[in-house]
Structure 1
Amino acid sequence: MKSKRDYKTLDKVVYYSVIEKIKNGELKPNEHLTEERLSKELGVSRSPIRKAITALVAEGVLDYRTYSGVVVKDTLVDSTRYVQLLEVIELFVKAALEKLEQSEEEINIEEFEKCIQSMDRASYLRDLDEYIFNEHQFFLRLINYSGNPYYKEMTKKVFFNINYFSADPINQYSEEMRERNIKQLTHVVELLKDRRYSEASDEIKALLLNYGANAFR
């Protein structure tokens, strides 16, 4: 995932500008949004605005409504909604691990180890965006073993909302917390190697509970 500041095209400028306007309260849920308005506010022609709106509708940030046109959806993530989103992730992970337990499918352990290595390196460099990206990739790869493509797509949207619409403290992991998370995920990988899927599920549930508790601190 690119940094929110790392964009080069006009449609990306519009895309992230709309996200920032929603996050800082300039755009509110159910507010009507037009190409003309954005063109005046951002000094951008309508073509890139149209592209940005299409992308934001696909992400679930904006919505097309009959007779209303484009409106802003309620996407802001406070601590309570964050915990609810984590519960969705937990359910998808549990479903994937239950399916693995019932099948003979082999897991690609290396892909999970690479995610953890990248998290460890990003944590050392204090690159929180990269750390979170690889953490999310770990969960996405695991959920992919559910065999249900809708789980993966819904998880991507959950992570998108957490990345861009969470209150800042929610995503601010301390160094101590990052190290603890890496240790727990490393333990999860060891459990996966031994096909101890029920224990891996419990470990991930405990990890996500810690994430939720951190959001209320």
Structure 2
Amino acid sequence: MAAKSDIAYEIIKEKIIKGELQPLSDISEEALQQELNISRTPIREAIQKLSKEGFVYIYARKGTLVSPVNEEIIHAVYEVRLLNEPYISRSVCNVIDEKWLYDIKNRFMNCPQNLNEEERKDYYISLDTELHGGIIKYCNNIFLKDALRIVSDHSQRIRYRTSHVNTDYERSVKEHLEIIEAFLEKNADKVEEKTRTHIIMCQQDSLKYNTNMYRSI
């Protein structure tokens, strides 16, 4: 059974990622205790962990604020992704489960037609996270995997902050399908190239719409 602090951590982090807790908003420990029915200590432990991972800022005698999504964060997140994900994708090119690749390819190509805009956004962000996270799982370097887990969460948060103004899902789906096809072809050069191109395009989109984001405090 998961520790209460771990449960609190996952719930609070999801609220931050999906924007339920907005950048620079106050985090009330008391309100979270009541909402989650969890005592003060696990809530504080969860907040401390989120602080170490860059999701919140803790100020002595001033309280806790949700961290901003700004150009500095965007550059940092995508720098780590660009330095690592193309290399990882290349190195695991021949060991990825083809059945999983065909399954996720099918889901990228067949978004349910009855989804509203918010549900559609959730659908594609979820697939994006599953694809990139699924590839990273094949990496044998435990340090890279742990670092990219945190970066993936921040990347997901950036997507939620920008996707409401970026409706070019068609291009994003095309890029993901090209990555998947390269894996199915077991073409390591192409996998690396398509992964790098996709990450660069995502970074450009995020920076383009940065005017709609909160800036650093």
TM range (shorter): 0.5 to 0.7
Shift of residue 189, structure 1, vs aligned partner: 1.6
* Larger-Rg structure: 1
Aligned to 2:92: 100
Q: Which letter does structure 1 place at the counterpart of 2:75?
A: V
- In structure 2, distance between residues paired with 1:198 and 1:21: 40
Partner deviation per Cα, 1:34-81 (whole Å, 9 max, x = no partner): xxx632x5673984343333234334235899xx69975874222442
Partner deviation per Cα, 1:180-202 (whole Å, 9 max, x = no partner): 12122212222112221122111
Q: Which letter does structure 1 place at the counterpart of 2:180?
A: V
Change (3 A) 1:204 1:42: closer
> Aligned with 2:68: secondary structure?
coil
Change (3 A) 1:17 1:122: closer
Aligned to 2:78: 86
CA RMSD across the alignment: 3.9
TM-score of the superposition, structure 2-length normalised?
Answer: 0.67
Answer yes or no: is 1:114 the counterpart of 2:103: yes
Partner deviation per Cα, 1:108-167 (whole Å, 9 max, x = no partner): 122233334334444742421232122111011112222112322222212322444x49
Change (3 A) 1:188 1:24: closer
Change (3 A) 1:197 1:57: farther
Answer yes or no: is 1:133 the counterpart of 2:122: no
* Identity across matched positions, percent: 11
> Aligned with 1:146: secondary structure?
coil
Change (3 A) 1:145 1:168: closer
TM-score of the superposition, structure 1-length normalised?
Answer: 0.67
Answer yes or no: is 1:15 the counterpart of 2:5: no
- In structure 2, distance between residues paired with 1:64 and 1:131: 32
Answer yes or no: is 1:210 the counterpart of 2:201: yes
> Aligned with 1:77: secondary structure?
coil
1:147 to 124, 132, 140: 140
- In structure 1, distance between residues paired with 2:9 and 2:148: 23
Change (3 A) 1:149 1:79: same
Partner deviation per Cα, 1:20-47 (whole Å, 9 max, x = no partner): 69634244xxxxx8xxx632x5673984
- In structure 1, distance between residues paired with 2:99 and 2:68: 35
Asked if the contact 1:188–1:203 (Cα under 8 Å) also holds between the matched residues in 2, the reply is yes
Change (3 A) 1:210 1:168: same
Q: Which letter does structure 2 place at the counterpart of 1:112?
A: L
Tell me the matched-pair count.
192
